[in-house]
Amino acid sequence: MAFLFRRLAFYLAAFLAAATINFFLPRLMPGDPIQLMFSSAGAELPPESLEALKLTFGFVDGPLWKQYLTYLGSIFTGDLGRSIKYFPLPVTSVLGHALIWTLVLMGTATVISFILGTWLGVMAAWKRGSRFDVIVSVTSIFATSVPAVVTSLIVLFVFGFTLDWFPNGYAADPSLDPAFTLQYIASVAYHGVLPMVTLCTVLIGGFTVTMRNNMINLLGEDYIVMARAKGLSDRRVMLWYAARNALLPTVSSLAIAIGTILGGSLVTEVVFNYPGLGNVLYQAILARDYPVIQGQLLIMTATMLVANFIVDVSYVLLDPRLKAA
């Protein structure tokens, strides 16, 4: 329990540090969202309405430290204010709707990438030096080296425009009403193929390389030699002796992959016009929508910290040596 409390305190301090950066970063951006909104209205708004706009969106003049304390209080009460671009919707509603789409996309891509990448890494390490190992290793390293934006554009151009196999944007057919029906679910799956392929391409290579290297380091261990000397089948030695122990560092890389897929999903959603958090953040930046930007960055920070905390706990549970220590 002491370990859990120490890690919890560490991640809480990290969250407060990230929240502080989150407060100051949008305010260093050029432009004032209230002035932009007031200017876009032209002569329709009288000058005295400028102060009313500031009060509505919480942009009250005052010392920066007071604004910062108000901001921290709003975080822990769940009141993130109202969106400027999507007024009068609250930030929680805007981000909550987008979060569902991002979780579906990210969650599916992470599970597929982890399973497929781990399996390819195991097979490449077990057949090291073979043609299969060379092809998988080179392809994996190349895939991890290509930025997500480049992969997104290539996938969109080849499968969306050139071959015209899949839709070029949106999360579902715009002519369909959102509902939990087979037709709508099929449309969502069909429109999500290209974003899913992009994210899986970005992630699979990292899992493959990590698992392959871990496996190779373990194949010369005494207990692997002893298992082979006992006459155990190659399949059992590969899965239950080598892959099982090599999986522990791969679990740690899963937390790092959350950050990679968060960054990749931001670009991918913009390229494919997918209604997730990435697209909302892009639109909020263009509109200088400070409340949405801050809420979005808080969600990303909290996701990364929670993922790392879960990995820390699971790593202790999976490794008996750490559990005993």
Residues carrying CATH 1.10.3720.10, the chain: 91-324
Q: Lowest-pLDDT range, 56-65, 180-189, 223-232, 279-288?
A: 56-65
Residue range 294-321: mean pLDDT, rounded: 73
In the prediction, which pLDDT does 50 show?
Answer: 59
Residue-averaged pLDDT of the chain: 76
pLDDT at 177 over 70: yes
pLDDT at 153 over 80: yes
Backbone angles phi, psi at 82, to 5 degrees: -110, 145
Which of 127-136, 227-236, 245-254, 301-310 has the highest mean predicted lDDT (pLDDT)? 127-136
In the prediction, which pLDDT does 263 show?
Answer: 67
Note the pTM of the prediction, 2 decimals: 0.73
DSSP conformational letter for 311: H
Residue range 304-322: mean pLDDT, rounded: 69
In the prediction, which pLDDT does 279 show?
Answer: 83
Which of 67-71, 134-138, 303-307 has the highest mean predicted lDDT (pLDDT)? 134-138
pLDDT at 323 over 70: no
Q: Which fold has domain 91-324?
A: MetI-like fold (1.10.3720)
Q: What is the pLDDT of residues 33-74, one digit of tens each?
A: 566 655 655 555 566 665 666 666 556 566 677 777 777 777
Instruction: Tell whether the torsion through CA atoms of 155, 277, 281 and 89 is positive or negative.
Output: positive
Beta-ladder partners of 82 = 90
Q: What is the pLDDT of residues 180-197, one digit of tens each?
A: 778 888 888 888 888 888
In the prediction, which pLDDT does 52 show?
Answer: 62
In the prediction, which pLDDT does 137 show?
Answer: 85
d(CA 312, CA 266): 26
Cβ atoms 277, 285 nearer than 8 A: no
What is the pLDDT confidence band of residue 264, given thresholds at 50, 70 and 90? low
d(CA 32, CA 52): 15
Q: Lowest-pLDDT range, 25-34, 69-78, 211-220?
A: 25-34
Dihedral, CA of residue 41, residue 47, residue 53 and residue 58, to nearest 10? 140
Residues in Cβ contact with 149 at an 8 Å cutoff, skipping those fewer than 6 apart? 267, 271
Residue range 21-34: mean pLDDT, rounded: 67
